Structure 1
């Protein structure tokens, strides 16, 4: 049972994101309800309601929500905007920790808006298909008499840009009419683009075919262009002479419209007031234009490859030099190698610290793009630092960034826990190197007093490329004066994969060695996955009444599990666990 105290703890960890999502949903509900009520009651669309029923109101209400969600969907992925907001939170301390963590969860907000767009797009399309069917039906009704069918037929034949019925052929096929109309074929293209963009963003597709995800997401330019064009035809044209023609009073007297015997009921006229979609999109478009200009300006910077290092487990390290480049620990950059792809920018976390004389990234060669990049720079393996003439002969490389991540907040907690799975350790390489530099130089790590580092790997060979850094870090911290620095870092390595017979014998034979035979660390390697219940309970016992930052980079399922356990132990112990996940 969650107590009042536990509920408050839950709100600290999950409250900001939940609150923002609730606000977005409430705004959608309000926009939908207000628009629906307007089209159900307004005299300007009185005759449209007679012809189309409730489907008109549902189509217009979903369209209004689409405008709102489409205006916001690109903002959570404007990297420069997020970087600026994160800078205000982390460096200038102008916002609380909960707001900074909300910025780190930008992808969740982006996905939520995308799903709302999908929902309203489906509702909008279904409602308008019903509208087309009813337009076709209204045009085919017989004329003459005082029936409601005769009224709809009369409305369909009104002069002046075809009155309120865009269908002007008897026996028309609704599908053909929908395809002929501008809103129809643009709407069909919009649906196809939306399906392609959303489907390619699935985790399985993104992981196996990143190029597919990247290229389909670039179709959003076409999506927004079609969105602007979609509503320009003015199929729904409100009545423009309400002062002279009261539809509620004149509808039953449609046979006398425009006659001298009934001057108070002239022929109703309808006009299109213009699309309002551009009003919703102009501000986000301006922000995104500034975003693109900043990215293009960075492409003009000269970036040099100064060294390429081959590591085990298909990992390549590129060391770069870029004048004027400055980054904080844990940040990431986007790389473009035109000889591998003219358009694709790929994100990589920085593994170098701010004090290092170079910028380094570790690239695991698992996809087509990374394999091409490795082939282009493999000629530099074993050469050490390249000369100027050698660097000039290499393929050009461009860099966009740096951009902040959740790791920016590691030193804002007195106790921080870094959890990296496999190659997911790369965001923490820069953090650990910076801790190493800062503890040795300035002896100032802000609030940080204790840092736990969990590295979970399925293959012991993957330890090799990162072990040297951990060995240096562990050794140098042990040499420092004072127990605080000697006890600053606690490294816990877990091997989750199988161990070969030869390796098992070597491990057994070197049981008494001071250094672990797999990693070379004083800390022993653990075999199997960590028991997170025991680990978090132990952390809470060692650090009571403390805010503990959990920083994770790895599989989504483990992230969900850890997030839930952080909430659970925040409720059941005196410590508060703040879960932070790396998102790119």
Structure 2
């Protein structure tokens, strides 16, 4: 338990606080509408559905305030810089931004469903009360005359004289009803298109439907303007429902029972969301400014395994290790932006990305680049960033374990390059004294473009007598045993036949228990940062191993898990 708290304690605390606020808002507003005197007559018409409609609305307001903040990338980068003076545990929370964004979205979806069902019941009960289905008090409340249509209780008016005033007409013509339908449809499309299978296989569908959030927020701001839910207001003389509820025939005839009057509450949703909306508008404005800045191609290289390397230059661009950028290519799409971790080091006068064929957008970009004449500039490229990630904190740990899967090696390419430059300049101001690097690939060609960097690091460390600084292990997870490079055939070779490195390629997946035990044994009193850029299944394994092999004694080895998130 103590080991779990080391890696997840603050995250769990934040989630508990978030859930506590949601629970408090739900209970508070439920009791407010279920017990408040102001809504006695409203409850008489609607029953418990009144409170079940209003309590989720309060929770929705709170979560709609939060939903945009985790996707304000520049805000998060600013906060990450501000937290540099704080502990790494605080900065680590920013790496869970997309997970929190999804969690808030699920809460919005759940509360929207409850809110919608409750209001559908409310409309039906309003209609039944107007038709005299219930008791005489309900009929009297629905039949209250109101020439100015400002003090009524039942929004379904004059059914007997105007055939249009039906529940369906109310839903599709009133501000609250029409915006409610639009909000619900937009939310359904946003959530369903965000499923993993859609995002991975049909990213464009996810991208375009996700921008329905603009319609969602516009409808949200105006949704409460209809003031459909109405409560009793004070009159002179006052109408005491305790005294008058059973004396409907005396309403307006005796001083102690004047005709009750009602009014809708002041719309409040806009006050919850206006701040995040302004922040997000500023975010998009900054993205547009960056999009308009000129980006020059320094080099375009096609690597093995259909990996495209772009070396780019942009005035005023400054980066740190492990950061990422968003790229936009108008020749493919004016609206789509895709994230890529930079593989260059801060010491270089350019920034580079390696792009693997993984969908329509990347396939089109690679096809365009392959057709360019040698030495030609590529199409216009918009660059937004750089943005911070967990990998920025690599050099804050005494010992770091870097785990890359496939193209997930890219943030670690930046880190290892930066190490090479630091040692080359003979001034390695590093707190880190040991790095373990693991790279898992399914095919041999994937190793080729990265092997040169490892060769350079290998020779540089040996020349400086620091061969123990970097320990790297390459794992080929899928292979044909009949191929001539199999380890059983070339175990006696000085260099690995796949990569040309002195470190031999391992076949199969790492035995993580063995690896963590080794790291703990070699670093008995160190704080070890474990960094992953790879699939979620591997993240779960590594997170568990970090908890398992962290020692309760603060003087002994601790493992902290960090994962790249896009």
TM interval, shorter chain, is over 0.9
Please report the TM-score for the alignment, with normalisation by the length of structure 1: 0.92
Residue 286 of structure 1 is matched in structure 2 by: 278
Residue 204 of structure 2 is matched in structure 1 by: 211
Residue 224 of structure 2 is matched in structure 1 by: 231
2:539 is the alignment partner of 1:550: no
2:380 is the alignment partner of 1:400: no
Residue 145 of structure 1 is matched in structure 2 by: none
Tell me the SS of whatever aligns to 2:346.
Answer: coil
| 2:72 and 2:280 in contact (8 A); partners too | yes
Deviations 1:426-469 (A, max 9, x none): 12111111111112225334320000100001111111111111
Stretches of structure 1 that go unaligned for 5 or more consecutive residues are: 1-6, 143-147
2:129 is the alignment partner of 1:129: no
Stretches of structure 2 that go unaligned for 5 or more consecutive residues are: none
Residue 308 of structure 1 is matched in structure 2 by: 300
Residue 101 of structure 1 is matched in structure 2 by: 92
Report the alpha carbon displacement of residue 174 of structure 1 after superposing the two structures with TM. 4.4
2:528 is the alignment partner of 1:534: no
Deviations 1:504-542 (A, max 9, x none): 46x555432221110111111111000111111111111
Tell me the SS of whatever aligns to 1:270.
Answer: strand
Residue 466 of structure 1 is matched in structure 2 by: 450
Residue 503 of structure 2 is matched in structure 1 by: 523
Spell out the pairing of 1:132-147 with structure 2 (5 A cutoff).
Answer: 132-141=123-132
Tell me the SS of whatever aligns to 1:323.
Answer: coil
Structure 2 Cα separation of the partners of residues 204 and 308 of structure 1: 31
2:33 is the alignment partner of 1:33: no
Structure 1 Cα separation of the partners of residues 224 and 367 of structure 2: 49
Return the match for 1:149 from 131, 135, 143: 135
Report the alpha carbon displacement of residue 500 of structure 1 after superposing the two structures with TM. 5.7
Residue 184 of structure 1 is matched in structure 2 by: 177
Residue 158 of structure 1 is matched in structure 2 by: 144
Structure 2 Cα separation of the partners of residues 265 and 272 of structure 1: 22
**What RMSD, in angstroms, separates the aligned Cα atoms of the two structures?**
1.8
Q: Which moved more, 1:163-172 or 1:111-120?
A: 163-172
Structure 2 Cα separation of the partners of residues 442 and 9 of structure 1: 38
Report the alpha carbon displacement of residue 44 of structure 1 after superposing the two structures with TM. 1.5
Residue 42 of structure 1 is matched in structure 2 by: 36
Return the match for 1:449 from 433, 436, 442: 433
Residue 470 of structure 2 is matched in structure 1 by: 489
Moved over 6 A (4+): none
Residue 432 of structure 1 is matched in structure 2 by: 416
Structure 2 Cα separation of the partners of residues 416 and 368 of structure 1: 35
Q: Which moved more, 1:489-498 or 1:513-522?
A: 513-522
Deviations 1:274-301 (A, max 9, x none): 2100110111112212212221221221
Please report the TM-score for the alignment, with normalisation by the length of structure 2: 0.94
Report the alpha carbon displacement of residue 31 of structure 1 after superposing the two structures with TM. 0.7
| 1:494 and 1:525 in contact (8 A); partners too | yes
